């Protein structure tokens, strides 16, 4: 393996890396949508269902836990605005989605 030179770094093609960051930003947005859908759809329907008995409690608990997993996945994916993906976008000369001025 050869050594890395300044020229290697200066001429690196950040296009693929920028595309990966863009894909990640789309993934974060989709996770946000899924979390909202899970809360307003899945969990809301479960909470309003007229179930009774021990199976109802188990099912409600499972649905609540599943909805929370979507929320947690989005929170983790979008947890740090200074994460690697945002830094790469800035290095590549692009602004992150939703960034101002």
User: pLDDT class for 17, splitting at 50, 70, 90?
Assistant: confident
- The string of pLDDT tens digits covering residues 21-32 is 888 889 999 999
What is the pLDDT, as a whole number, of residue 101? Answer: 46
Residue 36 pLDDT level (bands cut at 50, 70, 90)? very high
Residue 13 confidence (pLDDT): 83
pTM beyond cutoff 0.95: no
For residues 94 and 87, the answer to whether their CB atoms sit within 8 Å is no
For residue 94, give the nearest of 6, 11, 12, 19 by alpha carbon.
19
């Amino acid at each position: 393996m050869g050594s890395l030179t300044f020229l290697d770094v200066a001429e690196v093609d950040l296009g693929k890396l920028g595309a990966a960051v863009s894909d990640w930003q789309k993934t974060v947005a989709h996770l946000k949508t899924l979390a909202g859908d899970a809360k307003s759809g899945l969990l809301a329907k479960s909470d309003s269902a007229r179930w009774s008995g021990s199976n109802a409690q188990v099912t409600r608990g499972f649905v609540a836990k599943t909805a929370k997993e979507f929320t947690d996945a989005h929170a983790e994916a979008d947890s740090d605005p200074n994460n690697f993906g945002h830094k790469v976008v800035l290095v590549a000369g692009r602004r992150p989605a939703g960034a101002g001025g």
